[in-house]
Amino acid sequence: MRRKVAEVARLLGISDQTIYVWRRQHLIDTGQLPGTNSSDLSELAAARKRIAELEAELAVHRRAAELRNPRRKAVAAAQPTCLRRGANDDRLQPHQDGCPSPRRSW
Quote the pLDDT of residue 86. 59
| pLDDT number for residue 92 | 63
**Per-residue pLDDT, 78:** 45
DSSP sequence for the chain: ----HHHHHHHHTS-HHHHHHHHHHHHHHTTSS-S--HHHHHHHHHHHHHHHHHHHHHHHHHHHHHHH-GGGSS---SSPPEEEE-SSSSSEEEE-TTPPPTT---
pLDDT value at residue 104: 45
Q: Which residues of the chain have pLDDT under 70?
A: 72-106
